Structure 1
Amino acid sequence: MQQARRILIVDDDPDITKLLEVYLLDEGYDVEVAFTEQEMWACLSGKNFDLILLDILLPDGDGFDITRRLREVSDTAIILISRKNTDIDQIVGLELGADDYVPKPLEPRALLARIKSVLRRYKKVTVEVPHEPTETDTSTLKIDGWQLDTTTYRLTHHNGTQHVLSANEANLLAHLVRNEGRVLTRNDLMVAISGREWEYMDRSIDIMIVKLRRNIETDPGNPCLIQTVRGAGYIFKASQKDNNSVLGAVTDD
């Protein structure tokens, strides 16, 4: 018999947490509740969870900042929940690495459908206990003088310049590089980094492209590496000087 998927609800509203806890338990999930960020980290330090339902506004923490830090140490699925329902909040949440963003008030059946959709993207029944990235994580991609560590999301230039990308930014860049010379639509890119379909008017991919260009392009206003294909999407083109190495994934045992 397959082990029940484990969900951590992080919300300081006892009415919401009780409603969700009872509903999800009835649906066969193993559920725990944390009312603060501190309680959340305590739960994560001792157990594995398949998904975290994370409120944006906690008494001792900001959900966006928590999402960013979670993505630095864990691949646990994250669904953000919030009374703030603006496009920019959703874009920021997804860009920081959340898998979905659901506005309050919550409708349990609709939320359940979103939970099932997110969990289908994760093949493992349980995820690893969050751990700090180490210097021994050496799986890298070479990108025109830069190296992207796909484990720690560090982007390092041969001159020593370094940027730490969000999980989605790093995955987006890696997907572009691995498909060098191929035009990728926004839907291709969204599915690759989040497992969900791109929606009309969703600008999160475009915003991440702008940020990546600022990091790796000599002239971000006139990009050579990440080019726009009008009416289609984006294409990565390696510079001639780095064409032989840009696609090489280097993995040190």
Structure 2
Amino acid sequence: MLVVDSDPDSCELLTALFAQYGIETTIATCAREAIEQIQQAQPDLLISEIFLPDEDGYSLIRQVKILETTLHVQIPAIALTTVFSEERDRIYTSAAGFCRYLLKPFDIDTLMTTIACLTGKAQYRAANACC
């Protein structure tokens, strides 16, 4: 899994959470790093903050969609971000290419169930949750 976030605390939290589920996590702190990592090893899932220091998450996901075509892979993506206008942002992230939009602070069960649904790996799903 590739996590793209410039906030060290968010990266540390997600890495620790995913380790409990046996998920190997790679961190990128900006869009440029994320693209480099995707080119080296395609992740099963991308989780990205929208507000990044060099390019925003919308620019990143557009580049990822181009890479998917070039590399012949599909990388589902979750926008995990703070909110300004929840409904507008939810629509915009979907139109940009993100599969899901979740807000920080996030509910762990919701995040893990979303990951299970997007990756097809039921072991990540929260108890009694469905896609």
Q: Fold-level match, TM-score > 0.5?
A: yes
Contact 1:100–1:118 under 8 Å retained in 2? no
Give 1:47 deviation, angstroms.
0.8
Residue matched to 1:78: 77
Distance in 1 (alpha carbons) for counterparts of 2:88 and 2:48:
18
Pick the structure with greater CA Rg. Answer: 1
- Alignment pair present for 1:54 and 2:53: no
Cα deviation digits, residues 19-50 of structure 1 (max 9, x gap): 11011011011111111112112211211211
Cα deviation digits, residues 177-197 of structure 1 (max 9, x gap): xxxxxxxxxxxxxxxxxxxx8
Distance in 2 (alpha carbons) for counterparts of 1:98 and 1:36:
17
- Alignment pair present for 1:40 and 2:34: yes
- Alignment pair present for 1:12 and 2:6: yes
Runs (5+) with no aligned partner, structure 2: 69-73, 122-130
Residue matched to 1:116: 116
* 1:175-186 correspondence to structure 2 within 5 Å: none
Contact 1:11–1:35 under 8 Å retained in 2? yes
More helix by percentage: 2
Give 1:120 deviation, angstroms.
2.0
Distance in 1 (alpha carbons) for counterparts of 2:20 and 2:5:
19
Cα deviation digits, residues 52-92 of structure 1 (max 9, x gap): 00110001111112112211221211001110251111111
Distance in 2 (alpha carbons) for counterparts of 1:73 and 1:11:
20
| Higher RCO (C-alpha under 8 Å, 6+ residues apart) | 2
* 1:200-219 correspondence to structure 2 within 5 Å: none
Partner of 1:21, secondary structure, is: helix
Aligned CA RMSD, in angstroms, stands at 1.7
The one-letter code sitting in structure 2 at the alignment partner of 1:51 is L
Partner of 1:12, secondary structure, is: coil
Distance in 1 (alpha carbons) for counterparts of 2:11 and 2:42:
19
Give 1:94 deviation, angstroms.
0.7
Cα deviation digits, residues 101-139 of structure 1 (max 9, x gap): 101112323211111111129xxxxxxxxxxxxxxxxxx
Runs (5+) with no aligned partner, structure 1: 1-6, 122-196, 198-253
Partner of 2:38, secondary structure, is: helix
Partner of 1:105, secondary structure, is: coil
Of 23, 34, 58, the residue aligned with 1:64 is 58
Distance in 2 (alpha carbons) for counterparts of 1:72 and 1:43:
15
Partner of 1:58, secondary structure, is: coil
Partner of 1:50, secondary structure, is: coil
- Alignment pair present for 1:106 and 2:100: no
What TM-score does the superposition give when structure 2 sets the normalisation length?
0.81
Aligned length: 116
The one-letter code sitting in structure 1 at the alignment partner of 2:13 is L
